[in-house]
Structure 1
Amino acid sequence: MITRDQLRIRDPFVLVDPEAGLYVMYGTNGIRGFDAYTSTDLENWDGPIPVLRPEEGFWADRDYWAPEVHLYRGRYYMLASLKAEEACRGTQVFVADSPLGPFRLCGGGPVTPGDWECLDGTLHIDEEGKPWMVFCHEWLQVHDGEMCAVPLDESLERATGEPVLLFKASEAPWSVARHTGIDYITDGPFLFRSGGELLMMWSSFGADGYALGLSRSISGKLAGPWTHDERPLYDKDGGHGMLFRDLRGEWMLTYHTPNGGSLERAVFVPFAAMRAGLAPEG
């Protein structure tokens, strides 16, 4: 058993199993593979539980980042960012029959374009039931980080079309440039609906460090166009957030803070306390 304030983790993602009365948390922890932790109260965690270890000859040998796990058509699908020396970083899909794995390869390789540096793919099911992956085209390649979407086949194994640009990081009023003054970061998209509105939570850097903001689709559809809230949700050196409904039915926000120094921890906050009047649907 390990307490929340003892557990170093980045990019926390929580899957709730109401029948078992458990929270399952995944994240980035610097290993070649992914672990999970389970809890009944979000404070005390059992683990690590190995849920994915790469098979012999698997293409990625480093940067195992930001796993997400989604229940889709009765199975559990993990989307995770991976890289190798001779390959661009990309989002690979894995599948399992249990949220605790073992997760196995789904498809032949990353769903993101092979010649793009990409990360943080998340699953979005549109209003017609079609699956998409929303992901970040990295600032390392384009300077002004892009938020993109690519349609997937029903098995989630492969893309069925070309990526669509949704917006660039610099379009958000709160996002500030890094490094050379032209580099804007896109990180960690998470989509949800509220009051019929389609919103995206994502991260970049603000005036006080790593930050978490909200963007809104004017059309209510993934294609947008997208507008951006003037101020971030959180701007004190923390981000890569997502929402989940806790075992009492309350919507919770989780993100990691601070953003470095081996001190990263998962934080859990009632979403209503941060954003009055913005209740997710579903």
Structure 2
Amino acid sequence: MEKSFVLIVSLFVTAIGFTQRFTAKKNIPLDSIRLSDPYILADEASQTYYMTGTGGRLWKSKDLKYWEGAFKVTDTDPDSWMGPRPMIWAAELHQYKGNYYDFATFTNRAVKIDTVDGNVIERRASHVLVSNTPEGPYKPMEDEIYLPADRPTLDGTFWVDKDGKPYMIYCGEWLEKGNGTMEKIELKPDLSGSIGAGELLFKASDSPWSREKDKNGNDKNSKVTDGPFLFKTETGKLGMIWTSWIYDEYVQGVAYSKSGTLDGPWIQEEEPITPRNFGHGMLFTSFEGKTLMAVHSHEVVNGNYHRVPHLFEVDLSGDKLKVVAPYKP
């Protein structure tokens, strides 16, 4: 299990490089786009949907069905810790107080921060870029780093908690300690940096539904935390969708905060909420008022990851998120 997972991660890196070589085209059907970790911003001002994800490129659409892209929208500093050509994973676009923010994971493959159980850990961390338009360019702000330089972190997302303060919620990678984490860190009011240290929300092993085999073939909880996204139901309940594995299948589950704040405690649902091999989801409201979930499908084709964005209609009217059906624009 360990060796095969590392192999798949390296294949994922190859797929990322492919994504970054896309050139802009028009009238691309959603199901023709190869994209991991899709994130869709429904921008009311322009009545345009903007989609990004792993690779950091941008697609735009008026109807969710046909897209134009992919555009390069990030402008990072080649002299920073990211290096001249960082890999970009799981980019997200958030509008906040008049600006647009790009939350993404950047990896500098030239810098190795540790080796754990034979796995070389590269310099990888969640970071935030800013622009005054949804189409960028997105550029670094005040702080060079948001999270510790000696830890691999990924999949940062955004939430303003009940205390009115902005936070980044992110994953501590399983490669570091063998049990991935979900954590939060407070951000400065303008999101230009972080305040204090990260705090643990829950661990991968807390999930009752995620499973894997140990080196002796015995069942155990999965070690992977991936793709957090925060939401509230119409009754005010705070939830988080996030993704892990059931053996070799990529699946998304959900947890709910008992306190209604990021501090939890976080109660994991017993069963996943998506079909097998769909995950890394986020929620948005369409211009027609539908609550939709964007995820990617996951399969391995000829030794490479094949990931395509998909939409599901969801129901948030009760205390818990319900996936209604696949949504076809």
Task: Report the TM-score when normalising by structure 1.
Answer: 0.91
1:50 paired residue number:
72
Per-residue Cα deviation, 1:38-79 (whole angstroms, up to 9, x for no partner) = 112212101112211434324324331011111111000111
1:80 paired residue number:
104
Per-residue Cα deviation, 1:240-264 (whole angstroms, up to 9, x for no partner) = 0000000101100010001543421
Judged with a 3 Å threshold, the aligned counterparts in structure 2 of structure 1 residues 52 and 178 are, in CA distance, closer, same or farther, namely farther
**Partner-residue secondary structure (3-state), 1:258:** strand
Within the alignment, does 1:90 sit opposite 2:125 as a pair?
A: yes
Judged with a 3 Å threshold, the aligned counterparts in structure 2 of structure 1 residues 182 and 127 are, in CA distance, closer, same or farther, namely closer
Match of 2:314 among 255, 267, 271: 271
CA contact (8 A) 2:229 2:282 kept: yes
CA contact (8 A) 1:210 1:235 kept: no
1:258 paired residue number:
298
CA contact (8 A) 2:222 2:245 kept: no
2:279 paired residue number:
239
CA contact (8 A) 2:105 2:155 kept: yes
- Counterpart-to-counterpart distance in 1, 2:142 and 2:239: 29
Q: Quote how far apart the aligned CAs of 1:177 are.
A: 2.9
Provide the aligned C-alpha RMSD in A.
Answer: 2.0
1:39 paired residue number:
61
2:230 paired residue number:
191
Q: Quote how far apart the aligned CAs of 1:279 are.
A: 6.1
Letter in 2 for 1:41: D
- Counterpart-to-counterpart distance in 2, 1:225 and 1:122: 19
Letter in 2 for 1:184: K
- Counterpart-to-counterpart distance in 2, 1:161 and 1:19: 34
Judged with a 3 Å threshold, the aligned counterparts in structure 2 of structure 1 residues 37 and 149 are, in CA distance, closer, same or farther, namely same
Task: Report the TM-score when normalising by structure 2.
Answer: 0.78
Note the 1:50-199 alignment, pairs <5 A.
Answer: 50-60=72-82, 61-84=85-108, 85-86=110-111, 88-177=123-212, 180=215, 184-194=223-233, 195-199=235-239
CA contact (8 A) 1:137 1:145 kept: yes
Q: Quote how far apart the aligned CAs of 1:116 are.
A: 1.1
**Partner-residue secondary structure (3-state), 1:140:** helix
1:229 paired residue number:
269
- Counterpart-to-counterpart distance in 2, 1:147 and 1:115: 17
**Partner-residue secondary structure (3-state), 1:141:** helix
Q: Quote how far apart the aligned CAs of 1:176 are.
A: 1.2
Per-residue Cα deviation, 1:225-277 (whole angstroms, up to 9, x for no partner) = 110000001141121000000010110001000154342110011112xx774
Q: Quote how far apart the aligned CAs of 1:207 are.
A: 4.6
The 4+ residue runs of structure 1 with deviation greater than 4 A are 178-183
CA contact (8 A) 2:38 2:296 kept: yes
CA contact (8 A) 1:93 1:107 kept: no
Q: Quote how far apart the aligned CAs of 1:150 are.
A: 0.8
**Partner-residue secondary structure (3-state), 2:73:** strand
CA contact (8 A) 1:178 1:184 kept: no
Q: Percent identity?
A: 35
Report which of the two structures shows the higher radius of gyration computed on alpha carbons. Answer: 2
5+ residue gaps, structure 2, are: 1-25, 114-122, 323-329
Which shifted more, 175-184 or 129-138?
Answer: 175-184
Within the alignment, does 1:6 sit opposite 2:32 as a pair?
A: yes
Letter in 2 for 1:54: T
Judged with a 3 Å threshold, the aligned counterparts in structure 2 of structure 1 residues 259 and 76 are, in CA distance, closer, same or farther, namely farther
How many residues end up aligned between the 2 structures? 274
2:41 paired residue number:
15
Judged with a 3 Å threshold, the aligned counterparts in structure 2 of structure 1 residues 229 and 13 are, in CA distance, closer, same or farther, namely same
Per-residue Cα deviation, 1:96-132 (whole angstroms, up to 9, x for no partner) = 0011001111233231222111000111101121011
